[in-house]
Amino acid sequence: MSAQPLRPPPPVVRAPVVDSHCHLDPEEWGGDDGVDAVVDRAFAAGLSGLVVVGAGVSVMDHAVLLAARHGPRVRAVVGIHPHEARYASPAALAQVEALARRPEVVAVGEVGLDFHYDFSPPDDQRAALTAQVALARRLQKPLVIHDRESGGETFAILAGEGAFGGAGVLFHCFSGTPREADRLLEHGGYLSIPGIVTYAKADRMREVAARVPTDRYLVETDAPYLAPEPWRGHRNEPAWVLYTVAAVARIRAEPAEVVARTTTLNAVRFFDSPGLAGQEPWTAPESGA
Ligand SMILES: [Zn+2]
């Protein structure tokens, strides 16, 4: 392995922080031991909780087992990603439903439409989304949404299927316009801000981050993807959500601790999971951890 270039370590934020969306699939991280190491690094860096997304038939059960292994600070979300919608057979949806009934599972997701990659045919994506909205409503669990280049169709399906009358809707990795954000917020939805907000060209996302009401946004890594600056291009990990907290704090002209506390409260409320805030009283990590 080559030496890492010198870059600033994650900032120390003296308040609980939740990475509200990460993928910790064992095959990406060198097995369960590798996954547990990355979880330990996140807590050592000062995070209070993680929401792990198992979005696909081959990874869902790993996310649930991880949550069970680490307790209430780690919770799971399960569902069939739009990329995998072609595999959303009745049997696969029954598997989502069985897992989603478990107490470690706090939402159905990530589900939605992705017409950028079209890894699954659009009609399969629509059908999988519709079925999983119904499933979430039946189980009274919130929905974590993936929306990429759907031309507003994801939102239209959610509205048409009554998703906004359910347990909650969170657009993860929100990349829409301020107007689209307003429409989501008017419907009672939440949005989550990823490390993209640190990228030079992400002015539109920074505008959304500046305007979103305090009680309606979360922060996330989407690890292993979308590493924030100064690590863009590297494999992302949950501890690095701290760079995003610091960036959002600068954009909103608030202390990082305020961004941390408010987004943690929002995560606790949205996922109905007080354990994500960590133990009370929360203790700061050793400086420089
Ligand atoms: Zn994701």
pLDDT tens-place string over residues 92-122 = 999 999 999 999 999 999 999 999 998 999 9
Tokens 């990603």 belong to 81
Distance 166 CA to ligand 1 centre (A): 21
| Ligand 1 mean position, distance from CA 148 (Å) | 12
What is the CA(21)–ligand 1 centre distance, in A? Answer: 6
Coil vs helix vs strand at 120? coil
* The predicted structure's pLDDT at residue 4: 61
Asked if the model's pLDDT at residue 132 lies above 50, the reply is: yes
Given this model, what pLDDT does residue 224 score? 97
The structural domain count of the chain equals: 1
The Å distance, Cα 63 to ligand 1 centre, comes to 13
User: Confidence class of residue 288 from pLDDT cuts 50, 70 and 90?
Assistant: very low
Rounded distance from Cα 227 to ligand 1 centre (Å): 13
Ligand 1 center to 222 CA (angstroms):
5
Q: What is the pLDDT of residues 184-218, one digit of tens each?
A: 999 999 999 999 999 999 999 999 999 999 999 99
280 found inside a domain? no
Sign of CA pseudo-dihedral 259, 265, 266, 268: positive
Evaluate the CA torsion angle 58, 227, 2, 10 in order and state its sign.
Answer: negative
CA of 254 from ligand 1 middle (Å) equals 27
3-state helix, strand, coil in the chain (%, to 5): 45, 15, 40
Does residue 158 fall inside a structural domain?
Answer: yes
Distance from the alpha carbon of residue 53 to the mean position of ligand 1, in angstroms:
7
Q: What is the mean pLDDT of residues 131-140?
A: 98
Q: Is residue 259 part of a domain?
A: yes
Specify if 288 maps to a domain.
no
Q: How far is the CA of 155 from the centre of ligand 1 (A)?
A: 18
CA of 180 to the centre of ligand 1 (A): 20
Asked if residue 281 has pLDDT above 60, the reply is no
> What distance in angstroms lies between residue 43's CA and the mean position of ligand 1's atoms?
20
- Kindly state the average pLDDT of the residues 233-258: 98
What is the value of pTM for the model shown? Answer: 0.95
pLDDT for res 92: 97
For residue 81, how far is its CA from the centre of ligand 1 (angstroms)?
Answer: 8
State the pLDDT confidence band at 50, using cuts at 50, 70 and 90.
very high
Domain boundaries, position 143: 18-274
Q: What is the mean pLDDT of residues 224-249?
A: 97
pLDDT at 3 over 80: no
State the CATH number of the domain containing residue 226: 3.20.20.140
| The pLDDT of residue 118 | 85
- The confidence score (pLDDT) of residue 285 equals 63
Comparing C-alpha atoms, which of 48, 17, 42 is closest to residue 262? 17
Determine the distance separating the centroid of ligand 1 and the alpha carbon of 284, expressed in angstroms.
28
What tens digit of pLDDT does each residue of 29-41 get?
999 999 999 999 9
- Cβ partners under 8 Å of residue 244, min gap 6: 193, 194, 195, 197, 198, 219, 220, 221, 228
Ligand 1 centroid–CA 213 distance in Å is 23
Residue 65 lies in a domain: yes
In whole angstroms, what is the distance from residue 111 CA to residue 129 CA?
A: 6
50 Cα: distance to centroid of ligand 1 (angstroms) = 13
Is residue 287, in this structure, part of any structural domain at all? no
- As a whole number of angstroms, the distance between CA 69 and CA 78 comes to 16
Q: Give me the helices (H) in 140-270, please.
A: 153-160, 178-186, 203-211, 241-252, 256-270
- Judged against a pLDDT cut of 70, whether residue 18 lies above it is answered with yes
pLDDT in tens, 140-176: 999 999 999 999 999 999 999 999 999 999 999 999 9
Is the pLDDT score of 125 beyond 60?
yes
One-letter amino acid identity for 103?
Answer: P
Assess contact for 15 and 249: CB atoms under 8 A: no
CA of residue 281 to ligand 1 center, whole Å: 30
Q: What is the pLDDT of residue 6?
A: 77
Ligand 1 centre from 4 Cα, in Å? 26
Could you tell me if residue 279 is inside a domain?
no
Tell me whether residue 77 is in a domain.
yes
